[in-house]
Chains A and B, each alone.
Chain A
Amino acid sequence: MVSNVTYLANVVHPVQLGILISIYFFYTGLSAGSFVLSSLGTVFGIQKYKPIAKAGVIMAVALLAIAPLHLIGDLEQPQRFYTLFFRLNPRSAISYGTFLLTLYPLNSLIYGWFLFRRDFATGAQELTGLRRRLYKFLSFGKTDLSAAALAKDAKIAKFLGTLGVPLALLVHGYTGFILADIQARALWHTGLMPLIFLMSAMVSGTGLLILVLMFSQRFLSPERAITPERKSLLLDIAQLMLWFIVVDATLMIIDFIMLYFANTAGHAAAQLFLYGSHRTMFLGVEAGLGLLLPFIITLLPKTKKSLGWIGFASVLTLIGVIAMRINFVIGGQQLPLSGDTLNPYTADPKHLMMIGIFALLEISILYLTFRFLPVYGLPQEKVQTKLQHPAVFRQ
Chain B
Amino acid sequence: MASRGKSLIGKVPLVILQLAIAFLVLAPFFWMLSVSLKPANEPFAIPARLWPDNPTLENYILAFRPEFRRYFLNSIIVSGATVLITVPLALLAAYSLTRYQFRILSVFLAAVILAQFFPAGAMIIPIYKMVKAANLLDTYASLIIAYITVTLPVAIWMLRGFLTRVPKTLEEAAAIDGARPLRAFFDIVIPLARPGIVATTVFVLIVTWQEFLFALSFTSTKEMRTLPVGMNDYIGQYGIRYGELMASSVMVSLPVIVIFFFLQRQFVSGLTAGAVKG
Q: Is A bound to B?
A: no
Instruction: Write the residues of chain B forming the contact surface with A, with a CB cutoff of 8 angstroms.
Output: none
